A and B are shown apart, each in its own frame.
Chain A
């Protein structure tokens, strides 16, 4: 199946794109997609314990199974707001 991967902030910089199309085997989880990204971009590995992930714009754990066409997002620690 094919999924879209959205990357933000430093993760986007590392990949050189915020929007990747990836192939994933049937039954794959968010974590499987993440590990395949780290294999291609080893610099991402240090975010393993600090990032959050989402499926179709809802927070989702690494163990969640994904489906064809899903949008998987990898979110570094957030820093919005101000003041």
Chain B
């Protein structure tokens, strides 16, 4: 199991937990699952389609893992993002972070999801009752230190 993946397969958290839990030095494993919601901005969402520039998305996730390791040394991290057509309730992203203590494990999980939304080239096409729209979030710039520090701030909030 690769710690980083962008895949059309159904996501599973358990293998990621096992992956990061190797060894006995970790006293905490925190996890995050992003799930497809049935509503957005008062629209009744029917399903989502995620599209990726896959090789670049994998590289961006690798960068995020390196950043997390610099910020919280010694954490072990795994993140899988799903692409393709997802139904309401499906997991779009799963993250597992193991650390010696709980604070870093929680922080790394939060940091990763914030950074994914900032710099990973993946796009969400929302289909709702009466139409469809591409969701456009952040202008991706991996060198934007202000954005990175905002992710650190949220992770430690």
Contact = CB atoms under 8 A, between A and B. Distances in A.
7 pairs of A and B residues whose beta carbons are closest in the complex: A82-B34, A80-B122, A82-B92, A83-B34, A9-B123, A79-B135, A77-B136
B53 A6 contact: yes
Given A9-B51, A57-B53, A57-B59, A81 B116 contact: yes
Interface string A62-83: 0000000000010111111111
Interface residues of A, number: 23
Interface string B119-141: 11111110000000011111111
Interface residues of B, number: 38
Interface of A: 6, 8-10, 12-13, 50-52, 54, 57-59, 73, 75-83
Interface of B: 32-36, 50-53, 55-57, 59, 81, 91-93, 113, 116-125, 134-143
A10 to B, nearest CB: 4
For A51, A54, A59, A78, which residue has the most chain B Cβ atoms within 10 angstroms? A78
Contacts of B35: 82-83
B125 A78 contact: no
A36 B32 CA distance: 42
A52 B55 contact: no
A10 B51 CA distance: 11
Given A8-B123, A9-B123, A52-B141, A79 B136 contact: yes
B122 A79 contact: yes
B34 A73 contact: no
A51 B143 CA distance: 14
